[in-house]
Structure 1
């Protein structure tokens, strides 16, 4: 067993550091013993777009918090109450910390567990939601392991597809959830706001669901080029043309069946206003782009943002164009994704090669733990890579 635990920690906005910490214990954040938990040796731990909210200072967290909520690992220590796992198992960790026992968890609503955060019904690793330390580290403690962890059936097969399976902890199920909330199905036309890693997972998931025309909007040309190469239509939001006009130029009509906001409150305007931060732009954009009777998924992160320009937006109140949308009888759903609602089925889709294009669309790049601080800075500039940290050098080239 290792003596310590090297990890990426938050020092200050735009300042991530790799530090040497103590090896994790089978203990809850309040110090209570956790015989239901395990310790994982991390195999893959990703940098997520949500981590950039913390990196930029939009989502305040305490100094010294271990970053990361997208983890895949190998079981190296088990609590005495763990029954269905064994040492050596390779598992995916849902980013929602969930007990499996409360009313919401029993209804498969693990994104709003009632017990794992004393302040609000929502807990997550590495996100100042319940004081759970993150997994951009060599080792991680996971509670309620029998309930939470998704075990891969065959370790060797899983390691061959680890770049794709590493996406199961968050962004692939999150992207899929957005499409489910938007009612996507075979033949649907879909608009995806944002070609970051989650938006690209959304495009891949839309293909899996059999969507017809998949349109992706973004400001970064390299991201849009990646989408074009993988069969999507694209909209450059730097163009000073209304979004619905650009959709009509592609589809022959100005609205889609389903639209998903994968951006959140760090959105910007369109065209000549593309350089201006507009926290409500993405959500208003997808409401505008959805046809009457269609549905919209709001998956991007919204909440109080100390960097926003107005006092209302700093407090988490945003100006929504709901009056214009209301007449269309919209269905609008938002919030975090219940990862466990989707991860097993998506795992099987990956293992049986139903998403062979996933790594190409995500543009995954394997880095070391020491490379992580620089990768944060690169990702913050809009790079098209999806960074996967390999703390122990276990992922094949």
Structure 2
């Protein structure tokens, strides 16, 4: 092999598919030099991409709302076929089809041993935690590509037990790399359980995944809020109630209109730092959703916050927001004894169990998020359509392997 094609950030609102070198069994220079560890990676594997998805987190970069440099490779939702392994890879073999957690983890540090693989200490010299194809996440090459290198393969890769079965359900299984575990993490850490009433802010793919996860966890009613009519229609398609935030009505009144009371047992923020206020013409107000969920969650409730918040946002509305400082009503959350769970989802905590739910037919995540297949060459158009609010989860099929 002599080459590889990958989606690259070219500046605000623009991506392109470019040719780069075929991956090698080596760590990125930033990681090996910054962590003072060997560059050679006999613990790694190279995967041929079967599917790789466009994520809302990618869109933050492409909109110019992070400090991502031009030339940043993209893509952290990876499912692939193993085509090469290093000498120290013992339990993954060529031909295996595997899901790749978007968290890159060594499997050896204190955080990994505690199951907190989203904040591994050995894969990013800048901060705890790393991801493929993402700004400030260690310099790892992105997976919206033809091929990708996965380090610590025995630890990171989730092998599907049957190849034919995996290919039949690949549009569901591709969601295991990020949004299904992330949505589940949001619902689970919000305390969703049998009979819960649940509010999910945001009907994008992560919000829809959180809503489906809440159903799997036994919620009696799942209410999804958004201002995009097509995305709300998608939430309704698998049994969710919806509230249209473009109405400008108070969130408490909208919830009461559905449930008969203005509060819920559990709430999930699946929007993040590009939140807008209520109303059709509302301007950006990044603390809106955080304050909404505190306002409607009952006393003693938990709040799951899988929505992304950043420390550097050059396009923010004010100087505080540019550094991730938001006007949060923390006093309200404190008075109501709320608990908050933020940060990257530790994908390995959930992905095997969620795989089993998919393979048994009990989880239909592709249907919930409206998985839509496109080619690698169509990725720029997919980014454009997604940015305009398409009620779809775009799944890139670089090699034409998806039926």
TM range (shorter): over 0.9
Q: Secondary structure at the match of 1:206?
A: helix
1:328 aligned partner? 336
In structure 1, the residue matched to 2:52 is: 45
Within 2, Cα distance between the matches of 1:326 and 1:213? 26
Aligned counterparts, 1:183-194, within 5 A: 183-194=191-202
Counterpart of 1:341? 349
**Which runs of structure 2 are paired with 1:161-172 in the superposition (5 Å)?**
161-172=169-180
Partners in 2 of 1:114 and 1:374 — Cα distance? 36
TM-fit CA distance, 1:55: 0.6
- 1:149-228 correspondence runs (5 A): 149-228=157-236
Q: CA deviation at 1:287?
A: 1.2
Residues 132-186 of structure 1 deviation map (CA, whole Å, 9 limit, x = unaligned): 1110000000000000000000010000000000000000000000111111111
Question: Which structure 1 residue ranges, 5 or more long, are not aligned?
Answer: none
Offset of residue 275 of structure 1: 2.9
Q: Aligned equivalents of 1:314 and 1:17: distance in 2? A: 27
Please list, as runs of the form range in 1=range in 2, the aligned pairs for 1:54-133 lying within 5 A after superposition: 54-128=61-135, 129-133=137-141
Name segments (4+ residues, structure 1) moved above 3 Å: none
Whole-angstrom distance in 1 between the partners of 2:270 and 2:294: 13
Partner of 1:231: 239
Per-residue deviation, residues 361-386 of structure 1 (Å, max 9, x unmatched): 21111000000001101100110010
Task: Tell me by how many angstroms 1:325 deviates.
Answer: 2.4
Q: Determine if contact 2:175/2:366 at 8 Å carries over to the other structure.
A: no
Quote how far apart the aligned CAs of 1:65 are. 2.0
Give the C-alpha shift of residue 219 in structure 1: 0.6
- Whole-angstrom distance in 2 between the partners of 1:375 and 1:246: 33
DSSP-derived class of the 2:400 partner? coil
Whether 1:365 and 2:364 are equivalent positions in the alignment is: no
Distance in 2, Cα, partners of 1:229 & 1:316: 35
Q: Equivalents in 1 of 2:105, 2:151: separation in Å?
A: 8
- For structure 2, list consecutive stretches of 5 or more residues without a partner in the other structure: 33-38
- TM-score, normalised via structure 1 length: 0.98
Q: 1:41-97 CA deviation, whole Å, 9 max, x = no partner?
A: 000000001000001011221222210000000000000000001100000000001
Look up the match of 1:18.
Answer: 17
Aligned length: 393
Task: Please tell me whether residue 278 in structure 1 is matched to residue 301 in structure 2.
Answer: no
Match of 1:241 among 238, 249, 272: 249
